[in-house]
Amino acid sequence: MLSESRSDSLSSPFGEKASEDLEMGNAERHEADDVAIRVQGLAKRYQIFDRPQDRLRQSILSRLRRFVGASSRNYAREFWALKDVSFEVARGETVGIVGRNGSGKSTLLQIVCGTLEATSGEVEAHGRIAALLELGSGFNPDFTGRENVYLNATLLGLEHEQIRDRFTDIEAFADIGNFIDQPVKTYSSGMALRLAFSVIAHVDADILVIDEALSVGDAFFVQKCMRFLRGFMKHGTIFFVSHDLGAVVNLCQRALWLDKGEIKAVGNPKEIAEAYLADMVESQQGAGKIRATALPTPSDHTSSTPGGGKDQRLGFLNSSKFRNDIELFQFDPRAASFGRGGASIIEVQLHDSAGDPLKWCVGGEGVTFRIRCFAHQPLFSPIVGFWVKDRLGQALFGDNTYLSHLGSPLQLESGQLFEATFAFHMPILPVGDYCFGVAIAEGTQREHVQHQWIHDALFFKSYSTSLSTGLVGIPIDRIELRVLRD
Residue pLDDT, tens place only, 161-177: 999 999 999 999 998 99
Scanning 86-218, the segments in alpha helix (DSSP H) are: 105-113, 145-155, 160-174, 189-200
Q: Which DSSP string corresponds to 2-26?
A: --HHHHHH---TT-HHHHHHHHHHH
In which band, very low, low, confident or very high, does the pLDDT at 109 lie, cut at 50, 70 and 90?
very high
In the predicted model, what is the mean pLDDT of residues 59-77? 70
Give the integer Cα–Cα distance in Å for 82 and 113.
15
**What does the DSSP 8-state code read for residue 235?**
T
The more confident residue out of 55 and 348 is: 348
In the predicted model, what is the mean pLDDT of residues 200-212? 89
The gap from C-alpha 232 to its chain's centroid, in whole angstroms, comes to: 18
Give the integer Cα–Cα distance in Å for 282 and 230.
34
Decide: 389 and 471 in contact? Cβ < 8 Å: no
Give the integer Cα–Cα distance in Å for 177 and 166.
17
Mean pLDDT check: name the lowest of 8-17, 72-81, 142-151, 342-351: 8-17
Residue pLDDT, tens place only, 262-295: 999 999 998 999 999 888 888 877 766 655 545 5
What share of the chain has pLDDT > 70, as a percent? 80
Decide: 325 and 359 in contact? Cβ < 8 Å: no
Is 389 buried (19+), middle (13-18) or exposed (0-12) by CB count in 10 A?
buried
Under the phi-then-psi rule, with left for phi > 0, alpha for psi from -120 to 50, and beta for the rest, what region is 204?
Answer: left
Confidence (pTM):
0.72
Question: For the chain, which domains are there?
Answer: 4-81 (no CATH), 86-283 (3.40.50.300), 286-462 (2.70.50.60)
Q: What is the pLDDT of residue 465?
A: 80
Give the integer Cα–Cα distance in Å for 454 and 333.
9
Give the integer Cα–Cα distance in Å for 154 and 152.
5
Treating both helix axes as pointing N-terminal to C-terminal, what angle do 145-155 and 160-174 enclose, rounded to 10 degrees?
A: 130
- pLDDT above 80: residue 261: yes
Residue pLDDT, tens place only, 302-334: 444 334 455 554 454 345 566 777 888 888 878
Q: What is the pLDDT of residue 60?
A: 74
Mean pLDDT check: name the lowest of 119-128, 366-375, 387-396, 415-424: 387-396
Average pLDDT of the chain to the nearest whole number: 81
Q: What is the pLDDT of residue 14?
A: 34
Residue 267: CB atoms within 10 Å:
12
Q: What is the pLDDT of residue 134?
A: 67
Give the integer Cα–Cα distance in Å for 24 and 62.
47
Q: What is the pLDDT of residue 378?
A: 94
